[in-house]
Amino acid sequence: MSAAAQMTIEKDVPVPTRDGTVLRADVFRPAQPGPHPVLMVHGPYGKDIHFADFNAHAYDLIDEHGPQMTWETPNPEWWVPRGYAVVRVDQRGTGHSEGRMALFSPTEWEDYYDAIEWAGVQEWSTGKVGLLGISYYAIGQWHVAALQPPHLAAIVPWEGAIDIYRDWSHHGGILSNQFTDEWWTRQITGNQSALPAGAPNPQRAVEGNAELPTELREHALRKTYYLAREVDLSKITVPVLSSGNWTSYQLHLRGNVEGYLGAGSEHKWLEIHEGNHFTPFYTEESRLYQKRFLDRFVAGDETAWQDEPPVRLTIRDPRGSFVRAESEWPIARTAWTRLYLDAERGALGAEAPGTEARVDYPAPAGGVTLFTAPFIEDVELTGPSALHVWVSADTEDMDLFVTLIDIDSEGKEVTFEDASGVGNRGPVVKGWLRVSHRELDEARSKPYRPVHPHDTRSPLTAGVPVEAAVEILPTSRVFAAGHRLGLVIQAADRTDPTRFRHNNPVDRAPFTGTNTVHTGGRYPSYLLVPVIPPKES
């Protein structure tokens, strides 16, 4: 029997919200009588826009195809024959739903709550609702779960950011404009429900809708605007399977890790894979992994999810990546290792140089790269890193763009498939900091995980060195014997292909002049890295 024959499909079902706005949902449910456990998505990309129409190239690359597939959401033709009802909701102001479009707003997450509660009391529902989806369809899961809708049973945020400022709009305080601008005009503005049928994409919000790129650009500090969009992770009490991607360090990875660490759930797991942003979600291995979790906590099969390790990591080894179970994050046996910067020799080493040195480079085009000696044996780095560096400038501010790279025995950089776009390849990992944002949240910071409030500016005095701690996102890489670790410090983005450039002319205009990195003596700059010894047998 075909998947279509096993489904009952209802289109544009009205979903009421607390303020009277009506959302519209498509409901895919098993043809056999219920009740059934529910999977829900709620987002702005259009419940009726087919995956291939939304992104044809990505559709060609994924393993799964079918007439009911939409971008970054579970395929009803796979899930419904396995006993789930799948509900896709157009969020307020998008697709076929009423209202004013206001992405990343408290109203959006209240609507999501109302949709969950609506689904929980339908005659075809068991009253257990699970959430599953990628990217935007993951971000909302964190926020609505913290509101604790009674019928919510579990969440699977697959590559989903949490902190709109730190994860998305301002990397280290630097406006990440390129992705937001492209995403907004390509994926959002053409799906506003206020547009007349057949109208061309206006490339901006229509009157009455919020223009998100403008809002993010105008709110350069993490204050009232972002605090109103902050999620209290401790209020998430349902089971969580947080699934991140090593290559999504420019958008989602931080959220998946922070969500796992901060969630108040008794039952929570962290999984981190590799690859591009969409393919891993649709593999048979991933679907079965998702299903086992959801079968246990949404469908109620006590045998479906047993003895799962709290942490499941894909280790990126040059001989071939492999999956390893761990008991915690960060890994308890991590040997946190300082590699001291030596500007005189262009080196990273275990001993702090006794002699002060400096390297100057022009902003915004210049930078400096320092290397370890070739490793004499394989060295695994898995976890977050941090750069503790002394810097100065001849202006009142400077931006630090930090990159870790793997250099092979022939001096060539090893690159990795990048989540930023189809066909893109990138370095091991990156980090950023606007130095005027160097103030630390001392209560939350750790040497390997600096946390900056980003709520005030501390300008530089020309020529006076200051110490700055740069958060470098988590990663996993085995550096083979003969390879070197490189640390790149620049005043702007590298030239590697990415959709996440920080090149807004207003935000970046003041960052010119000469930047300086200081090392040795009074300025013991160092890179802190997570060296992982083998597990004891």
- Please count the helices (runs of H) and the strands (runs of E) in the chain: 11, 26
pLDDT at 497: 80
pLDDT at 196: 87
Which has the closest alpha carbon to 119: 37, 19, 236, 214? Answer: 37
The neighbour count for residue 385, using CB atoms within 10 Å, is: 26
User: Long-range pairs for 164-169 at CB < 8 Å and ≥24 separation?
Assistant: 164/104, 164/216, 164/226, 164/229, 165/222, 165/226, 165/454, 166/222, 166/254, 166/454, 167/251, 167/252, 167/254, 167/255, 168/216, 168/251, 169/216
What is the location of CATH 3.40.50.1820 in the chain? Answer: 4-308
* DSSP letter string, 331-356: -TT-EEEEEEEETTTTEEESS--SS-
Residue located via tokens 């500007």: 343
The neighbour count for residue 474, using CB atoms within 10 Å, is: 25
* Pair of tokens at residue 184: 């907004």
pLDDT at 46: 97
pLDDT at 197: 82
What is the location of CATH 2.60.120.260 in the chain? Answer: 335-531
Q: What is the CA radius of gyration of the chain?
A: 24
Classify domain 335-531 at the CATH class level. Answer: mainly beta
Q: Please report, in tens digits, the pLDDT of each residue of the chain (537 residues total).
A: 566 778 999 999 999 999 999 999 999 999 999 899 999 999 999 999 999 999 999 999 999 999 999 999 999 999 999 999 999 999 999 999 999 998 999 999 999 999 999 999 999 999 999 999 999 999 999 999 999 999 999 999 999 999 999 999 999 999 999 999 999 999 999 999 999 888 999 999 998 899 999 999 999 999 999 999 999 999 999 999 999 999 999 999 999 999 999 999 999 999 999 999 999 999 999 999 999 999 999 999 999 999 999 999 999 999 999 999 999 999 999 999 999 999 999 999 999 999 999 999 999 989 999 999 999 999 999 999 999 999 999 999 999 999 999 999 999 999 998 886 677 899 999 999 999 999 999 999 999 999 999 999 999 999 999 999 999 999 999 999 999 999 999 999 998 888 899 999 999 877 889 999 999 999 999 999 999 999 876
CA atoms within 13 A on the CB side of 263: 29
pLDDT at 537: 61
pLDDT at 2: 67
The neighbour count for residue 307, using CB atoms within 10 Å, is: 5
Classify domain 4-308 at the CATH class level. Answer: alpha beta
pLDDT at 495: 87
d(CA 250, CA 501): 10
Residue located via tokens 């919020």: 210
pLDDT at 421: 66
CA separation (Å) from 177 to 102, 182, 183, 218, 254?
19, 9, 10, 12, 18
Q: Are 419 and 134 in contact (CB under 8 A)?
A: no
Compute CA 150 distance to the chain's CA centroid, rounded to the nearest angstrom.
27
CA separation (Å) from 97 to 44, 105, 120?
10, 16, 20
pLDDT at 141: 99
Q: Are 451 and 445 in contact (CB under 8 A)?
A: yes
pLDDT at 535: 84
